[in-house]
Structure 1
């Protein structure tokens, strides 16, 4: 028997009057996962619609029953209300309750409340309305899908939106279907490619399938508005979950989440829950709404671009959003190994063997899966034989085509072959597979240390400015005190901040170019992993900004100092240790030893650049100087403002003698050349040695050679004078002893002199 509307209206009001106090009393707040207003707040017009025709029962086998999810919408139909479950903290639990109830066709979910209905938006289109502020609601509707997957929901629908047009390559297939459910069935059953999303037009029936979605595109506005079109995103896709990078969103948490876990010991445990959950988790927060509370969501900033204010401002809280994940696998074959990378976000960059970014590399253009072949016989690819049947190498995953950034990774890949003897008998099929299957695959990420370079005074306090002659120090240190790495430093250069002129302070082997400008790097007294070199402040003639650049190489577990032959103040050669980079070429080292040293010094491709205000940025040194920067080294940069002392001493300089003026002019003339090399001088801070403070390595070396030559010539002249004086004195003595002088021989005479 069908009830008239004048009977159902009072019945609906009675139900609401009984239910609302219970919901208001048990509904949790937003910070505990709930919303800010009732899901059943119905208008009078909605209450008057309670006399609509009954909805047929949902007829579908349990194996094909799935759910369609719509974010930011609420279903309001009091006559179709089945049950409400306050305190529900899992979206999956809410959907499971609807799945087990044969009368349930739809559900509303906000964190902390689940409401079940016997009707859905297909039969009550007017009952579905936007619900985004002050919190957003998740609406779920039962669907019958032949390609249903074992997930809480099969796909998410965004009404009146489509995937933003970026060329036809995003749309892999296009068909005509009679409904959006049929369109999504095509996506879930697709076998030619991994279907991640589908777009359905209600007007034309066009169904477009794509291998991209909002997460894989990684763009904030990956979808655009279009009336009459439904964008549907699959929840059945298996994303990579091994090497994942999360970015923090500080001061904000989601108003509605999919799952709330309590008594989670650490944030790492919360992260693991996100990576191993039954849905495509895109963000999590920990300790934001309570001690040891972990909240997970399939949403992040990219997927909530159409929602009004989806985040709640909470000071000192942070939401970690998934940036990208990488799964790396190795296929070990007879003569090579193939490293395959599968990503969750389209990758554009290159994959190459460490140290061979051009000769053993793969350029990747907007791909989710790519592979690099590493032949065992190709020396450029650097595959090493570690033991019998074991081969390994390192590959670099670089996002930019030219420079290395912090998001890049170094990966170690290896293959192990079973080469033990085996007995084979009674075999009929003598066919041999061309490729050997790998038995062991290892993969790991190698992180580099964060290294900082600072200019300090001799007490170790950082400074950003100084005057010429001030005693300073250049300090290299690893930021993390618990880092297992040690560091080498080489190719330390001082550059003019204006015209780019430069001098070399430490050469390519890590040895000082001139002891009078800068000595060897030594370990700091307060930190055995920090390196310090002292110098007196100097400046270039065209600028008061002096920029230091150095290449730093990490090594494990410690770095052995290199022995540097240098000239001391007396002009004699001596050998001193320096913690510059280890020499690659040893005089008595064999080829195998040099290869072993290179493997021991495996380095990550990351580098850190430090500026005056301690900000870090990335830069390609080779792009400016036409040099190829080794990928295993770090480039550090530090600038300092150096002012001269001439302004305060002008009056005194006018009173100097002509000889003093000559030397002062000579000093100023040399400064135009010296500033390229004065980086770290160890002269005292007096004004009696300005020439030594400002002279460049090139000029100082030339002066040293000229001075040494002058000394040698002077000594030779002195010896000649002494010899001549002795000869004249001896001749005078001979004249006094002989009574007569022997006759001078004529030109025709031949004289033989016999010496005894």
Structure 2
């Protein structure tokens, strides 16, 4: 522990003793972190600007707020390098701002091991955990009651919860988080990291709450590693360490006690072993924020902590056997990319076994090596293949990852391997509509309606700087707008690949979610005569296409549409969509897909179909232990060591050089052939000329005139010979 860490610990201890006088009933002062929101209308108490000498802007701001009794919350602006302490208000109003983080000071029952944490809980508005492991529903609960239920000493197994406010608390612009508001609370044994596929978008009346005193990182599992994002780092930094090696930075992240370290960034100009650089520790994760939090930085590498997998590999001379044992229910697919039909297996709730032939169409590659052993020269052969573990049986989501598995062919017993490969290992059976009532109240269409319909997709969160490509898992919002005075009802939404070979139904004939994909129902809003139906979702794609085509059916109602009751799974807290009024927002730089505007001329019961295409980019992520082996050797790759006299060349460059050399050789050969042919032609012409001159030796080749005189005539006759 260095001097700065000792100072922070002393300040935290002193502040805790002072702040403890503000709480009663055995509670102590701590904070609740709200990511991506800021305070609205709260009077400021203090302003702190980073000097550049402190290791943590967040730590300095929270320590100062603990000392001030009037300070009720802290707003940290990472991009500006400052923070503002605001006074406590009985009904705080929050608005979205993804460059800041809001820390709410609160009195809670925290355990002794959690007393060193800077904050005990994290709250994220607009998300919920669609999990089958829900433990208990607590109706008529305030946000404070939900906090206490998650942190209760008798309920140490609660990792997360979600609080749903009443109908009147929803506001499209401001997030109301009053302590006295009564809603419903659901506590859960899992969280968004143990079940990433269950972490889904919702509306701002739902708050996802996560316990920061309970996590799995304290359990050391061998061969666990990180995802690597080269030349990138996170915008939000909680703690900075200088003059650290990459291994020291990794150890600092794993042993951090002030907050849960979800990853670290190591910035150095050189990649050699033992080189020191800047180490940034992060408490946020891409599962929570999405890829917009990444920032391109030359010489930096972001390492994201991921969940360990249970994979075993076994191979013989005939085939390669891969077994994946997920933590929970898995109903996705495990397959070779591009060979999903013939080289894949589908999960049925338990372990998934995939057998690939050594030789065939499953893209099994071989690597060969020769080494000297005690008994002589040893020939080694490694068989390996890239495998995709896809949580959803139809579409790809942000939690799906590539896995490279390999082993040495030959008779051997399977070897258990615990490897971290950035695979979200949760799956579940798609929800069915068997429990829903049949649709009997189909709304009729307005005859002769001329109102235009507009279907488009915008980014749910502003990206700075704006990016044209949509990343897998990025929060998006699908909008349907019209100026017609009668309500419209969207239903039967289908997403398909560009060629139509893969498709999935998102909304059924009632407009209710089918549960196959994270896609909720539409929410209706109004502004100055414009009717908007919107729905938030995370970007996804199909394995065979980066283009996702949406087809939506719309019908016009007579004045008001009949209210649809979308029944949900047991144990999940939901509410019907609210009819609210939105304020006009700027769409410049946010629209990522446009379906075009259509003017409607439809009759009664005539449905209207709208379509648009969305391009979703799937950026590759490099895993530091990209090979799962079947032997007992560690899956960590050895540090690259420079070898004298060896030049590293990319295989594509090597192929290009070989083709260039071959082309030059062909050109030289053709040039030689042309020169030889011309030489032969010139030689033949010269020989013919010489032969012609030899045949006419002694003869005059030029016509001459001769005079002939006959004796008996005095006439001269000219003869031409």
Which bin holds the TM-score, normalised by the shorter protein?
A: 0.3 to 0.5
TM-score of the two chains, using structure 1 as the length reference: 0.37
Structure with the higher fraction of residues in helix conformation: 1
Larger radius of gyration: 1
The structure with higher relative contact order (CA 8 Å, sep 6+) is 2
